[in-house]
Amino acid sequence: MEIKSEWGHLNRVIMHRPGTEITYAMLAPKPFLFERPFNYSIANKEHQNLEDTLRENGVKVDLLENLIVDEAEKKASFRQKLEEKIMALVNFYGTMESVEEAKKDMEKNIKYVDPLSLFQALIMEPSIDLKEYVPGIQYPRVYSNLPLANLYFMRDQQAVSSGVLLGKMKMQQRRKETDITSFVFSEILGAKTKKITEGYFEGGDFIPCGDFCLIGTGNRTDETGAMEAINSGIFNFPTVAIITNPLYDFMDGHDVMVNMHLDTYFNIPAKGMAITSVELARVARAKIYTRDREGHYAQETETTLYDFLKGEGYEFINLGISEQLSYSSNFLTLSDRKIVAIDSSKVIKKLLAENVFDTDTRQKIIKDMELKSGKMFPDSDAMAKSGIDVIKIDLSEITGGYGGAHCMTSAIDRT
């Protein structure tokens, strides 16, 4: 379980097929950090197609649900730990006597609950209100305290390099996701792990590049979390660039999702090549840290993301605003010069049809599309000349949660 570069051959990922937990986000997208509601049936098929595509290209895909359910069925010791986790998670409300009785019943009955139901409880976090409950007359009220609607974006809870760095999510809606993924990495996969405790750090802000790595900071990962990450012992790179994720100059900062993570505007399909909004890369400030013989990092200089990578010999494929805002950079690299990419033209047409953007942004998108004459990523002329092997898939529904193939996969091994 090791990753040194984004272009290394992808061997294994973890994914999570979204289920009942996203129902709440369909009814109230923004509070659950979604861009828009979407058709769950179609989105589910898109997610399945992404999984199938990865398997067809030799990637081992573990579904989070299967990892937990299978382990609970095979190992009594893990089953016991899972039961204890659920017992601590489920809340009862009512009189002291009714709550105590309900907890005793749950403790007695949980051994009969199947592993799949335990997993579903884990991601729904149910609470049972007994205050008005009268046996045979009045039903108890049931709540889901914090359904983990964003859990299917499996990239963000952690980052993998010479071990697993378990993140700390900035948004309250997502903070309990790492409780589940850390449970899986430590109890099932037996990985070397380290946890972020002081700052905030999310996996979508980490891109490994061989001799150096990039860490984005801004709306999710903060500089404290970035520094904690590079000093964790998990990221053993001689050089680290800590990037301030930028906005377009015409944006006032109210739309915090445009530059949510580094991978929302930047990614690497091959050694020495970046696909990004060059406009954003040119203004993204980069603090460059180098490691001394004792393993300590110190800031060496400050530049921009674009100039830093130019100095490292990188070439760029530019994304226009219409491409960047339709998740073009959120592709998944399978190996050097081979990627799984979203069909951005389908996404942007859907976003425009649903009036997702403000008037100014919408006008700039339409103008950019006109300049491209319909040739959007990954079908652009620049991509055709690059020699990159592209597997194009439709994720136009499921991206409504704010993310593409990169966001939906936790890459845990590359060679």
Band (pLDDT 50/70/90 cuts) for residue 130 is confident
Place of tokens 């959120």: 330
274-319 pLDDT, tens digit per residue, is 999 999 999 999 999 999 999 999 999 999 999 999 999 999 999 9
Q: Please name which of 218, 323, 226, 215 lies closest in space to residue 265, comparing C-alpha atoms.
A: 323
- Lowest-confidence segment of 240-254, 307-321, 366-380 by average pLDDT: 240-254
Q: How far apart are CA 29 and CA 57, in angstroms?
A: 33
The three-state secondary structure class of 146 is coil
222-244 pLDDT, tens digit per residue, is 999 999 999 999 999 999 999 99
Q: State the fold for domain 10-67+151-414.
A: L-arginine/glycine Amidinotransferase; Chain A (3.75.10)
CATH 3.75.10.10 region(s) of the chain?
10-67+151-414
Query: Phi and psi dihedrals of 334, rounded to 5?
Result: -90, -35
The strand pair at 60-63 and 10-15 is best described as parallel
- What are the b/e assignments for 115-141, b being 16+ CB within 10 Å? beebbbbbbbbbbbebeebeeeeeebe
The three-state secondary structure class of 413 is strand
29-77 pLDDT, tens digit per residue, is 999 999 999 999 999 999 999 999 999 999 999 999 999 999 999 999 9
Place of tokens 């980069």: 286
pLDDT at 209: 99
pLDDT at 259: 86
Q: Per-residue pLDDT for 151 more than 80?
A: yes
Q: How far apart are CA 378 and CA 84, in angstroms?
A: 47
Q: Please say whether the beta carbons of 390 and 341 come within 8 A.
A: yes
Band (pLDDT 50/70/90 cuts) for residue 251 is confident
310-344 pLDDT, tens digit per residue, is 999 999 999 999 999 999 999 999 999 999 999 99
pLDDT at 57: 99
Q: Per-residue pLDDT for 190 more than 80?
A: yes
pLDDT at 258: 75
Q: How far apart are CA 394 and CA 348, in angstroms?
A: 12
- Model confidence, pTM: 0.95
- In this structure, the number of other CB atoms found within 10 A of the CB of residue 103 comes to 14
Q: Per-residue pLDDT for 181 more than 90?
A: yes
Q: Please name which of 344, 341, 343, 348 lies closest in space to residue 366, comparing C-alpha atoms.
A: 348
